[in-house]
Amino acid sequence: MGKTDKKQALKLRKTHPILSIVCTVFVSLLAIVFMVFLGLVAYRYLIQSKTNTQTDKLKTMVRIYDQTDDKEGIIPTLAVISDSFYIKDKDGNIIYSAGDNTCDESQPSESSLFPEEGITFYDDKAMDLLDDDPAFGFTIDTGDLDSKTIGEIVNDREAVLKAPFWMSCKTVSGDTIYSKGNLEFSLHDTAIILAIALLAAIGVIVVIIVVIVRVVANIRDRRKMHKLLFLDSVSDDNNWMRYLITTEEIIHKRRNADNLYAVVNLVFVNYRNFVLCHSMEEGEIMLRKVYETVRANVGKKDVVAHSTSQNFPLFIKYRDKEELRMQLQGIISKLEKVDPDHRFSFHAGVAFIPAGRAEKRSLDIDSVYNHACAATMTLEDTDESGIVFFDDELLKKQLWIDKVHEKQAKAVENEEFIVYYQPKYNPRTNELCGAEALVRWQSPDFGFVFPGRFIPVFEKNGFITEIDHYMLDHVARDIRRWLDQGLDPVPVSVNISRAHFIENDLPEQIRDIVDRNNCPHGSIEIELTESAFFDDKNALISAISCLQEYGFAVSMDDFGSGYSSLNSLKDLPLNVLKLDAGFFRGSDDEEREHIVVAEAIKLAKNLNMKIVAEGVEEKETVDFLAGEGCDMIQGYYYAKPMPGSDYEMRIGKKATDLVELAPVEANEPETAKEETTVITDTETVPEEDTKDDQAGI
């Protein structure tokens, strides 16, 4: 997982849903306020348009009053304009009046929402009683009400709803005219107002519903997102992301500074097989059982997660490493029997988090877990359960793997890989009859490195295909050169790793590389390690047949070091069988060893195959193999792997009298040690000098 992913997940985890809820509610409230405001504006517009005619009447009355000197005489004229009015002098005494005086002067302007300049509004006394009797004060002028249906009344533009009010305006003379007015709404208007009010109410309700739905959806979305980000679908509990975040929170807490924690990579070894034999669903059920068993057997504050298929990262607080080992052993014992019908095995790789606040602060759980994985990887070749603690040795190994990875591409570019040739001899004639090309790395950074150190790394990281092509290319080039020099080179076998067999066009690739160098196909033999024979047999058979059609001999390397060699021999049309060096490393029962080797040679002969014995160091072994009819021997007895220049001398000498040749001192440790550091692989470091002289070469 990338660091940015983790940061974003952390951010998401910390942002509380309440914030987004508050935002949504706030925005919705704004929308409601806006709607109410719009309603009020519409209301004001309506009221103003209704009061305008009334205030105009009052203003006309004031104008007439001011223009007339005979104030009393004008009263009947004013009465034509307004039914009810009265006039007060400067001192507040009523000097003229007409109609009913029902003006409530106690609350000027308050009964009207939108006062107009120069005019003061008052409630009508009749309206004051509205609270007690809502119908009181309103008059409905509908004509012949009794003969109309409600629908007709509503649609009747003549029918009006009258709301009385009073208004006053000062005259120039200082007197004040009070006049009654009526806000007149036709029932049609009223229906429109009600409809607008209803629509506004519906709008508000809709907004409220939308807000609620949004808030609920928001909470649900967040839950889903949390589930996707932090929950594993199999265990329905912690996934890798949550594991990382939780464990980092734990180690960064001040109070946990002195605690000791272990990061464990627990691997369900048989999971893939189980899924193959059963089904994905059953596999998941089993993973869940494993998860629950682990969860039940660690502390409450320990963290358990399920990351990818068979991997369970654990984070365990411990006091003592041996105690921890026992705890893990106990868990694994339970897990082995997690299903009564099966016996499973589990690997646990353990890496440790040091005590101390500063140490913990600079720690990255990701890399500690990588160490735990590196520890489990050391158990990769066994199907038995096991626990491995990551230590300095493993750290060195891990660093080496990283360094090799970092340098490999440049090394090919700079031609740092060198072809060494190990000759093969006919044990009866002591004649050179072949060679195997073996890679060496002359690195400016690491010195002289043996393949045992880097080939396994390349096999894991996939770079092996690159190296094998490189070797084939260089061998074909060397053979071409030797031919051009008039030498008579013997066939050279080149190792081709099993990793190539995923490529369908492997035979064509090999042919093209050899052809590019104009090298005869008969001079190249392809060595396949026995492990390649476990893969897709049909693909292998067709690749072998194809290579043979192109004229390349194909050999099975390391025969006898694995399990199903005999079985493979049955189906595969091979040309050469290479007996593994293990046969000649000395056995407690030499007689039995001889029987097995003799039978293997017979078997190869019967199958029309040539036989090469590898790793032969003793004269007695050579004599025995010669007696049994072994075709070739490749071993220190005759020669160690040597640089191309030294091997070239051997081909040259092959043409002349073999017996008279002096032994060639061309062996790697000596050659290499003189120049640089030698990084060896203990199994393959030649310790003795060659027996060239003993062989009389």
472 binds ligand C2E (CB under 6 A): no
Q: Rounded distance, CA 614 to CA 373, Å? A: 35
How many residues lie near ligand C2E (CB under 6 A)? 26
Which of Ca ion, ligand C2E, none does 302 bind, CB closer than 5 to 8 A by kind? none
The residues binding Ca ion (CB under 5 A) are 495, 527, 557-558, 614
Collect all residues with Cβ–Cβ distance below 8 Å to 298 and sequence separation of at least 6.
304, 314, 316, 327, 331
Q: How far is the CB of 585 from ligand C2E (least distance, A)?
A: 8
Please report, as residue ranges, which positions from 489 to 518 form the binding site for ligand C2E (by CB under 6 A): 495, 497
Q: Is 438 in the site for ligand C2E (CB under 6 A)?
A: yes
Q: Residue 255 Cβ, how far from Ca ion at the closest point, in Å?
A: 58
654 in Cβ contact with 432 (< 8 Å): yes
In this chain, which of 160, 244, 290, 464 binds ligand C2E, going by CB under 6 A?
464
455 is a contact residue toward ligand C2E (CB under 6 A): yes
Shortest reach from residue 466's CB to ligand C2E, in Å: 10
471 binds ligand C2E (CB under 6 A): yes
Report what 684 binds from Ca ion, ligand C2E, none; CB cut-off 5-8 Å by kind. ligand C2E
Exposure letters 526-535 (e unless 16+ CB within 10 A, then b): bbbbbebbee
Per-residue DSSP letters for 19-68?
HHHHHHHHHHHHHHHHHHHHHHHHHHHHHHHHHHHHHHHHHHHHHHHHH-
Nearer to Ca ion, 295 or 500 (CB): 500
Nearest to Ca ion of 116, 525 (CB atom): 525
Under the binding rule (CB under 6 A), the answer on residue 313 touching ligand C2E is no
Residue nearest to Ca ion (CB): 557
CB of 650 to Ca ion, least distance (A): 19
Strand residue runs (E) in 363-522: 386-389, 417-426, 431-443, 447-449, 492-496
DSSP string, 121-184: EEEEHHHHGGGT-TTTT-EEE-SSGGGS-HHHHHH-SS-EEEEEEEEEEE-TTS-EEEEEEEEE
In the structure encoding, which two tokens stand for residue 10, read together?
């952390």
Minimum gap (Å) between residue 493 Cβ and Ca ion = 7
By CB under 6 A, residue 636 contacts ligand C2E: yes
Query: Using an 8 Å Cβ cutoff, are 514 and 524 in contact?
Result: yes
Site string for ligand C2E, 584-623 (x = CB under 6 A): ------------------------------xxxx------
When the beta carbons of 351 and 471 are compared against ligand C2E, the nearer one is 471
Sheet holding 260-268, edge to edge: 303-304, 311-318, 260-268, 346-353, 386-389
Asked if 555 interacts with ligand C2E (CB under 6 A), we say no
Q: How far is the C-alpha of 235 from the C-alpha of 305, rounded, in Å?
A: 8
The distance of closest approach from Cβ of residue 634 to ligand C2E in the complex, given in angstroms and rounded to an integer, is 6
- Report the nearest approach of Ca ion to the CB of residue 433 (Å): 16
The reply to whether 475 sits near ligand C2E by the rule CB under 6 A is no
Q: Mark 456-476 as b/e (b = at least 16 C-beta within 10 Å).
A: ebbbeeebbbebbbbbbbbbb
Task: Tell me how far apart the 2 most distant CA atoms of the chain are, in Å.
Answer: 163
Least separation in angstroms between CB 557 and Ca ion: 4
User: 358 is written with which tokens?
Assistant: 């500063």
Cross-strand bridge partners of residue 578: 612
Binder of residue 471, out of Ca ion, ligand C2E, none (CB less than 5 to 8 A by kind): ligand C2E
582 binds ligand C2E (CB under 6 A): no
Which single residue brings its beta carbon nearest to ligand C2E?
684
Give least dist CB 422 to ligand C2E, A: 6
- What is the 3-class SS of 270-318, one letter each residue? CHHHHHHHCCHHHHHHHHHHHHHHHHHCCCCCCEECCCCCCEEEEEEEE
Alpha helix positions (H), 559-664: 565-571, 590-606, 619-628, 644-654
Which of 328, 432 has the CB closer to Ca ion? 432
Q: Which range touches ligand C2E (CB under 6 A), out of 50-58, 192-200, 460-468, 653-661?
A: 460-468
Question: Which residues here bind ligand C2E, judged by CB under 6 A?
Answer: 422, 438-439, 450-452, 455, 464, 467-468, 471, 495, 497, 557-558, 581, 614-617, 634-636, 641, 684, 686
